[in-house]
C-alpha cells in the first residue's frame, strides 16, 4: 500500500485539525501539515519512537512545505528521553564556509541590499539538517534512515494537493520562485504559479531522497550531489556580480558536524523551562523576558493584570523591548564568541532592567544593558542594528508511547530560502548567512564583541526556540513556533497563557498574540480569524496608545491585524497522564494520535 493511500486512511481515521485535541495512551504528533503529521504517525504505528517519527516528519515537510524547511537548511531538535530523564539538543544549524569574512555582505563598506544578497549564493550556509537527523537516528532512534525517508519519497514521487498556505507563498514570493529556472519549473510550470488544489509532483526531489536512503548522508555531503550544491551556490544576482557568489566548497560540506548541546534551563513561577541556548537567541531572550515579567502579578485580574488588559500588554511590550535590545548586542554563536548567559539572567541584572519598566508610561527606546558585572565572559556593549527576519520556518512536536518527546524547529531562513533549487536534485538552498550582521560590529575600542559578525565555520544567530515545560522534574509539554524573531514572542505568549492565565494548551495556542521585536517597540498583534479568543479590545489598544505605544494605528480602530507564528504542541494530561496534542489553525495545524507501538529507547 502506498504512503498516499496510508495518508488518506490516517486522515480519515485518526487525524484531528485546528482546534481539536487528541488524547492517546501511545503516541501523538502535532505538525503544521496533515501529510507530514501522517508521516510521523506511520512511523509511530510501525513501532518507531519519537526521534524516528521526527525524522519522517522533517523529510515529509521538505516535500509539502518546501518554502519553509528541508535538507538544504538546518534546525534544532530538542529531545527528552524518558528512560534516562535526559534532555538535549541536536544542533544542525547551518555554518558559514571557511572562506566567509565579516565584510562579505559589505565589500565596499556599504551593506548589500537584502533582496539581492538573500537571493544569491553568497547567503547559503553549509546545510545541516540531514547530518542532524542521521546523528539523532544513529544515537537515539530505532529505525534506519531509509525507513524514515519512505513517506517523503512517496509524497514527492506521487504528489500531493497544494494547500492554501503553499499557494499563497508561491503567489506572494518577492520573485523567489520565478528567478531561477529549476525553481520556476516546479512551482510555476509554464509560467503559471501553482494554485490551491493543484497536484504537485517532485520527481527530482524523490530521486534525491532515494539516493540518500540507499547511500546514507555521505551521498549528500560528498560526491556528485555535493558538487551540484557547490555549483548551485555559485549563482549570484547580476547586480552583485562576483561579490554575490557563494563561498562554500566541497571541503566545507565534507567537514560539516552537528553539535549536541545541553538545553538552557530557567524557572518561572515554580515551573521549569528547557529551551534553546546560543547560537539561537530564542531561549535566552525568552528566559530574560520571563525574568523581567515575574515581578509583575500577571494573571491577577483584580490588580488589572488579566489576559489582554492594558497593564498586562504594556509590561509584556516593555519586557520585549528590553530583552531584544540585549539580544541585538550580546547573543550569537558562543562557540565563536562568548555569550554572557549568566549575566543576562542574573537576578540583580534582571532587577535593574525591570526597574526601567514604568506602569504609567512607555519608556524611551532602551539601549542594551551591561551584564558583564555578573558574567565576565564579555566586554561592555555598543548597540547594533538588527535586520528583520522572515516569518517562515516550521515547528512540530511529538511524544511517543514511552514518554519520549521531541520539540523540533527547522528552517531554510527566508521564505523559499535563496530561491535556488539544486539542478537535477529538486531541493532549495537556504539563505541563512543573512542572519549574520551585514555590517561588522566588532570594535575592541568600544568593547563590542561582534557576537553575530560573519566568521569561518560560525553559526548565524537564530530566533528558534524549541521549548519543553517541566513540573517536578518531568516534562508536561513540548512546543515552539516558526516566525523569525516573532518565534520568541509566540513561545512567550503561550507560556504566559499557560502559567499565568490558566489556559489549556489549545486555548493558549488559539489566543491572540502580541509581539515587539526591537527596542523601538513597534507593536504587532493579532485579531484575525474567529478562533483567536479572547480578543485584544479596542479599549485596551487605546490605553496602549495613551501610554505612547506605536504600531496600532488611529485611536478607536482595531490595530491588531497581524498573524504571528504557528505553535504546535504535545503535552501530558495532568489528570490522567494521557498524551495529548494541540495544533495551530494559523497554518494547517494537525494532530494525529497513534495507538500502536514497538520497542522504545
CB 163 within 8 A of CB 63: no
Alpha helices in 464-572 (DSSP H): 486-499, 505-510, 538-546
Distant-in-sequence contacts of 497-503, Cβ < 8 A, 24+ apart: 497/307, 498/469, 499/268, 499/269, 499/271, 499/299, 500/269, 500/298, 500/299, 501/298, 501/299, 501/306, 501/307, 502/299, 503/307
HSE of 12, CA atoms in CB hemisphere, 13 A: 6
Question: What angle, 0 to 180 degrees and rounded to 10, lies between the N-to-C axes of helices 145-158 and 129-140?
Answer: 140
Question: Which pairing describes strands 579-582 and 568-572: parallel, antiparallel, or unpaired?
Answer: antiparallel
Alpha-carbon span 160 to 201, nearest angstrom:
7
CB 498 within 8 A of CB 508: yes
Alpha helices in 100-249 (DSSP H): 114-117, 129-140, 145-158, 164-171, 181-187, 203-215, 218-221, 223-232
CB 472 within 8 A of CB 464: no
- Which residues are known catalytic residues? 393
Cell of 73: 537548511
Alpha-carbon span 467 to 471, nearest angstrom:
14
Backbone angles phi, psi at 64, to 5 degrees: -95, -20
CB count within 10 Å of CB 240 equals 18
CB 39 within 8 A of CB 29: no
Task: List beta partners, residue 409.
Answer: 76, 395
Alpha-carbon span 346 to 382, nearest angstrom:
20
Backbone angles phi, psi at 566, to 5 degrees: -160, 90
Alpha-carbon span 76 to 482, nearest angstrom:
12
- The H or E element that residue 590 is part of is strand 590-594
Alpha-carbon span 417 to 176, nearest angstrom:
8
Cell of 295: 515581578
DSSP character for 387?
Answer: P
CA distances from 592 to 31, 176, 246, 277, 569 (A): 9, 33, 41, 29, 12
Grid cell 526521534 is found at: 51
DSSP character for 21?
Answer: -
Question: Which pairing describes strands 579-582 and 22-24: parallel, antiparallel, or unpaired?
Answer: antiparallel
Amino acid at each position: 500500500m502506498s504512503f498516499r493511500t496510508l495518508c488518506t486512511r490516517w486522515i480519515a481515521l485518526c487525524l484531528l485539525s485546528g482546534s481539536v485535541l487528541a488524547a492517546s495512551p501511545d503516541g501523538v504528533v502535532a505538525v503544521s501539515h496533515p501529510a507530514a503529521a501522517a508521516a510521523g504517525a506511520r512511523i509511530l504505528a510501525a513501532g518507531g519512537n519519537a526521534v524516528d517519527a521526527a525524522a519522517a516528519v522533517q523529510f515529509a515537510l521538505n516535500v509539502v512545505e518546501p518554502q519553509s524547511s528541508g535538507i538544504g537548511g538546518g534546525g534544532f531538535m530538542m529531545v527528552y528521553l524518558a528512560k534516562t530523564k535526559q534532555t538535549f539538543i541536536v544542533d544542525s544549524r547551518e555554518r558559514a564556509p571557511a572562506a566567509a569574512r565579516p565584510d562579505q555582505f559589505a565589500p565596499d563598506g556599504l551593506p548589500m541590499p537584502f533582496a539581492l544578497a538573500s537571493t544569491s549564493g553568497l547567503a547559503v550556509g553549509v546545510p545541516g539538517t540531514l547530518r542532524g537527523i542521521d546523528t539523532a537516528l544513529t544515537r537515539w532512534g530505532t529505525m534506519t534512515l531509509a525507513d524514515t525517508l519512505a513517506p517523503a519519497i512517496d509524497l514527492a514521487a506521487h504528489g500531493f494537493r497544494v494547500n492554501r498556505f503553499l499557494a499563497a507563498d508561491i503567489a506572494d514570493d518577492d520573485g523567489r520562485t520565478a528567478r531561477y529556472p529549476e525553481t520556476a519549473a516546479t512551482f510555476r510550470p509554464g509560467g503559471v504559479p501553482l494554485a490551491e488544489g493543484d497536484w504537485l509532483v517532485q520527481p527530482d526531489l524523490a530521486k534525491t531522497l532515494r539516493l540518500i536512503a540507499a547511500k546514507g548522508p555521505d551521498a549528500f555531503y560528498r560526491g556528485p550531489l555535493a558538487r551540484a550544491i557547490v555549483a548551485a551556490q555559485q549563482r549570484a544576482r547580476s547586480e552583485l556580480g562576483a561579490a554575490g557568489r557563494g563561498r562554500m566548497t566541497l571541503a566545507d560540506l565534507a567537514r560539516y558536524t552537528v553539535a549536541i548541546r545541553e538545553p538552557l534551563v530557567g524557572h518561572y513561577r515554580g515551573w521549569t523551562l528547557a529551551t534553546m541556548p546560543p547560537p539561537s537567541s530564542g531561549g535566552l531572550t525568552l528566559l530574560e523576558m520571563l525574568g523581567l515579567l515575574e515581578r509583575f502579578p500577571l494573571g491577577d485580574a483584580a490588580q488589572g493584570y488579566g489576559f489582554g488588559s492594558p497593564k498586562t500588554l504594556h509590561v509584556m511590550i516593555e519586557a520585549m523591548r528590553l530583552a531584544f535590545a540585549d539580544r541585538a548586542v550580546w547573543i550569537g554563536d558562543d562557540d565563536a564568541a562568548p555569550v554572557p548567559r549568566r549575566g543576562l539572567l542574573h537576578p540583580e541584572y534582571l532587577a535593574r532592567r525591570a526597574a526601567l519598566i514604568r506602569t504609567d508610561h512607555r519608556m524611551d527606546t532602551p539601549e542594551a544593558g551591561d551584564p558583564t558585572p555578573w558574567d565576565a565572559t564579555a566586554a561592555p556593549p555598543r548597540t547594533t542594528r538588527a535586520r528583520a527576519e522572515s516569518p517562515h520556518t516550521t515547528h512540530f512536536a511529538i511524544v511517543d508511547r514511552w514518554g519520549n518527546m521531541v520539540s523540533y524547529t527547522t528552517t531554510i531562513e527566508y521564505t523559499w530560502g535563496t530561491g535556488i533549487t539544486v539542478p537535477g536534485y529538486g531541493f532549495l538552498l537556504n539563505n541563512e548567512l543573512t542572519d549574520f550582521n551585514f555590517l561588522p560590529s566588532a570594535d575592541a575600542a568600544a568593547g563590542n564583541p561582534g557576537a553575530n559578525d560573519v566568521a569561518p565555520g560560525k553559526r548565524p544567530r537564530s530566533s528558534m526556540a524549541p521549548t519543553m515545560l517541566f513540573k517536578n522534574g518531568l516534562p508536561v509539554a513540548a512546543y515552539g513556533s516558526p516566525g523569525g524573531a516573532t518565534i520568541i514572542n509566540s513561545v512567550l505568549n503561550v507560556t504566559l497563557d499557560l502559567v499565568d492565565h490558566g489556559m489549556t494548551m489549545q486555548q493558549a495556542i488559539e489566543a491572540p498574540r502580541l509581539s515587539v521585536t526591537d527596542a523601538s517597540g513597534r507593536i504587532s498583534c493579532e485579531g484575525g480569524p474567529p478562533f483567536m479568543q479572547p480578543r485584544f479590545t479596542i479599549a485596551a489598544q487605546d490605553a496602549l496608545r495613551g501610554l505612547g505605544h506605536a504600531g496600532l494605528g488611529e485611536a478607536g480602530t482595531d490595530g491588531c491585524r497581524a498573524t504571528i507564528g504557528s505553535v504546535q504542541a504535545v503535552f501530558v494530561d495532568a489528570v490522567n497522564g494521557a498524551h495529548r496534542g494541540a495544533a495551530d489553525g494559523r497554518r494547517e495545524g494537525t494532530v494525529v494520535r497513534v495507538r500502536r507501538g514497538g520497542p522504545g529507547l
